[in-house]
C-alpha cells in the first residue's frame, strides 16, 4: 500500500505546482494553502469555495494527515507536554515524539509573550550530548515536514490557542534533518502559511558547521540559537562529542557570518552544570569567546535527568555567573524554568518514553 500524498508536506509553491499539474488553475494552490493554515480545514470537504468535483478528486488523491495524540501532561505552571504517536510509513517505523506548549507571561527579554511552541525535529538524536535525555535512547528517525508542522497544528487545536513564538528546541538536531526542517520553517514563516516573523521563530543547533554554512546560504527565515555550553574546547568536547569535528574557532566564524548577513544577534545557549562549566574561569572564557560576536547569552539551569551524571548549581552560583557576565557588559538572560514536574523542560524530552519502552 502506498502512503497517500499528505498536503502538509508541501510549501505553497510546491502545492501550486502540484495542483496545476493535476489540471487546476494556478490560484487554486494558494486557495488550498489558505484553507490549511488560515482557516484550519480538517478535510477537503471543508474547502467550500472549491468546485465540488475538485474536492472529491483531491480527497481521492491526497490526505490532510495530522498527528495522533498519544498522551498529554499538564504541569502546575500551565506548561503542556504532548506525546505524539507517529505512524509507520515511508519515513520509517512508528516512534513517539514530544512537543511542549509553554505559556509565557514575558519572553526572555521581558517582552509580553503569550504562547511558545517548542517543537521536535527527530525522534531521538544522533549527537549524543552527554547531559541530554534525548540522546540516550537509540536514534529513531527524522520527522517529515508534515510531522513538524503537525505539532503546531495539533497543539493549537487541542488547546484552542495560537502561538506567537516557536522554538525548535525539542527532541533532535534540526540541522541533521535539514530539508524537512527547512521546509517546515518556510511554512511557519510564509504570510499565507502560519505567518510568524523571522524573529518569532528560533532554531537551536548544537553547532554543525557545514550545515550552518548551508543554512546561511539558503537564508532560512528564522533566528539562530547555538548550544555552546562551554568556550573551553576540552570541556565542550566532553559535553558534546560533535565539538571534535566542529571546533569552537570555526563555529565562531560561521556565527559571525550569520550576524553580518542577517543583521541579527545569535543566541548562545549555556546550560549551567555544577562544577563543570559554572566557575569564574568559565565565565572568563565565555566572555573572551564572545567579545567580538554580536550575541546574547541564554543561561539555562540544568534540568536533572535520572541516570546522567550532572547536577544543577545552586541559585547563588547561577546568580554569580550571571552577574559576572553582566558586569563585563554582556547581554545575558536566565531562561525561566517551565514544566520540570512533568519532565517537559529543556533536555528532559524523550527520557520517560524510553523508560516506558524499556519497562513495557
Binding mask 156-195 for ligand SAH (x = CB under 6 A): -------------x---x----------------------
In the complex, the smallest distance separating the C-beta of residue 20 from ligand SF4, rounded to whole angstroms, is 39
Binding mask 89-128 for ligand SF4 (x = CB under 6 A): ------------------------------------x-xx
Per the residue annotation, which of 129, 132, 346, 352 is the catalytic one? 346
Q: Considering only residues 270-309, where is the footprint of ligand SAH by CB under 6 A?
A: 271, 300, 302-303, 305
Instruction: Candidates 14-22, 131-139, 146-154, 299-307: pick the segment binding ligand SF4 (CB under 6 A).
Output: 131-139
When CB distances to ligand SAH are compared, the closest residue is 347
CA angle 101, 103, 105 (to 5 degrees): 160
Q: Select the binding partner of residue 135 from ligand SF4, ligand SAH, none (C-beta < 5 to 8 A, by kind).
A: ligand SF4
DSSP string, 242-305: GGGTS-HHHHHHHHHHHHHHH--PEEEEEEE-TTTT-SHHHHHHHHHHHTTS-EEEEEEEPPP-
In the complex, the smallest distance separating the C-beta of residue 334 from ligand SAH, rounded to whole angstroms, is 12
Q: Considering only residues 196-215, where is the footprint of ligand SAH by CB under 6 A?
A: 204-206
Tell me phi and psi for residue 273, to 5 degrees: -115, 125
Q: Select the binding partner of residue 147 from ligand SF4, ligand SAH, none (C-beta < 5 to 8 A, by kind).
A: none
Any idea what DSSP says for residue 306?
T
Residues 6+ apart with CB under 8 A from 195: 37, 189
Q: At what angle do helices 178-189 and 145-159 cross, to 10 degrees?
A: 40
Q: Select the binding partner of residue 332 from ligand SF4, ligand SAH, none (C-beta < 5 to 8 A, by kind).
A: none
In the complex, the smallest distance separating the C-beta of residue 271 from ligand SF4, rounded to whole angstroms, is 9
Q: Select the binding partner of residue 313 from ligand SAH, ligand SF4, none (C-beta < 5 to 8 A, by kind).
A: none
Is residue 299 within 8 A of residue 270, CB to CB? The reply is yes
Q: Has 147 been annotated as catalytic?
A: no
C-alpha cell at 280: 569564574
Instruction: Candidates 129-137, 158-166, 256-264, 322-330: pick the segment binding ligand SF4 (CB under 6 A).
Output: 129-137
DSSP string, 74-143: E-TTS-EEEEEEPPPBTTBS--EEEEEEEE-SB-TTS-B--EEEE--SEES-SS--TT-STTSSPP-EEP
Pairing of strands 295-301, 122-123: unpaired
Q: Considering only residues 233-272, where is the footprint of ligand SAH by CB under 6 A?
A: 269, 271
CA distance 257 to 69: 40
In the complex, the smallest distance separating the C-beta of residue 135 from ligand SF4, rounded to whole angstroms, is 3
Per the residue annotation, which of 98, 173, 269, 352 is the catalytic one? 98
Which CB atom, from 7 or from 302, has the smaller least distance to ligand SF4?
302
Is residue 188 within 8 A of residue 201, CB to CB? The reply is yes
Name the one residue in this structure whose C-alpha cell is 498529554. Answer: 72
CA distance 32 to 193: 11
Q: Considering only residues 224-243, where is the footprint of ligand SF4 by CB under 6 A?
A: 227
The yes or no reply on residue 134 touching ligand SF4 (CB under 6 A) is yes
Q: Has 315 been annotated as catalytic?
A: no
The yes or no reply on residue 7 touching ligand SAH (CB under 6 A) is no
CB atoms within 10 A of CB 47: 20
Q: Considering only residues 83-142, where is the footprint of ligand SAH by CB under 6 A?
A: 131-132
SS3 333: strand
Which positions are annotated as active-site residues?
98, 346
The residues that touch ligand SF4, with contacts defined as CB under 6 A, are 125, 127-129, 132, 134-135, 172-173, 206, 227
Amino acid at each position: 500500500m502506498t502512503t497517500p500524498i499528505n498536503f502538509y508536506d508541501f510549501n505553497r509553491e510546491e502545492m501550486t505546482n502540484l495542483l496545476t499539474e493535476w489540471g487546476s488553475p494556478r490560484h487554486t494552490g494558494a486557495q488550498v494553502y489558505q484553507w490549511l493554515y488560515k482557516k484550519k480545514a480538517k478535510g477537503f470537504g471543508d474547502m467550500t469555495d472549491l468546485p465540488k468535483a475538485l474536492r472529491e478528486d483531491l480527497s481521492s488523491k491526497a490526505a490532510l494527515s495530522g498527528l495522533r495524540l498519544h498522551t498529554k501532561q499538564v504541569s502546575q505552571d500551565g506548561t503542556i507536554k504532548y506525546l505524539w504517536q507517529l505512524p509507520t510509513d515511508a519515513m520509517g517505523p512508528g516512534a513517539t515524539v514530544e512537543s511542549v506548549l509553554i505559556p509565557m507571561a514575558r519572553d526572555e527579554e521581558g517582552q509580553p509573550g503569550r504562547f511558545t511552541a517548542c517543537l521536535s525535529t527527530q525522534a531521538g538524536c544522533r549527537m549524543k550530548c552527554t547531559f541530554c535525555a534525548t540522546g540516550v535512547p537509540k536514534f529513531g528517525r527524522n520527522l517529515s515536514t508534515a510531522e513538524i508542522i503537525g505539532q503546531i497544528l495539533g497543539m493549537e487545536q487541542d488547546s484552542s490557542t495560537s502561538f506567537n513564538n516557536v522554538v525548535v528546541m525539542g527532541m533532535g538536531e534540526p540541522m541533521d534533518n535539514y530539508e524537512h526542517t527547512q521546509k517546515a520553517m518556510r511554512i511557519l514563516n510564509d504570510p499565507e502559511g502560519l505567518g510568524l516573523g523571522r524573529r518569532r521563530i528560533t532554531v537551536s543547533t548544537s553547532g554543525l558547521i557545514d550545515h550552518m554554512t548551508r543554512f546561511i546560504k539558503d537564508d532560512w527565515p528564522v533566528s539562530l540559537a547555538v548550544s555552546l555550553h562551554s568556550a573551553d574546547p576540552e570541556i565542550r568536547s566532553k559535553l558534546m562529542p560533535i565539538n571534535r569535528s566542529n571546533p569552537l574557532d570555526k563555529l565562531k566564524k560561521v556565527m559571525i557570518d550569520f550576524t553580518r548577513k542577517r543583521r541579527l544577534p545569535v543566541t548562545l545557549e549555556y546550560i549551567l552544570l555544577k562544577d563543570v562549566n559554572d566557575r569564574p574561569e568559565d565565565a572568563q572564557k565565555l566572555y573572551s569567546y564572545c567579545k567580538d560576536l554580536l550575541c546574547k547569552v541564554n543561561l539555562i539551569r540544568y534540568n536533572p535527568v535520572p541516570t546522567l551524571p550532572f547536577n544543577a548549581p545552586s541559585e547563588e552560583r547561577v546568580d554569580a555567573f550571571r552577574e559576572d557576565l553582566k558586569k563585563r557588559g554582556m547581554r545575558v538572560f536566565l531562561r525561566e524554568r517551565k514544566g520540570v514536574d512533568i519532565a517537559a523542560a529543556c533536555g528532559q524530552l524523550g527520557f520517560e518514553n524510553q523508560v516506558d519502552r524499556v519497562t513495557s
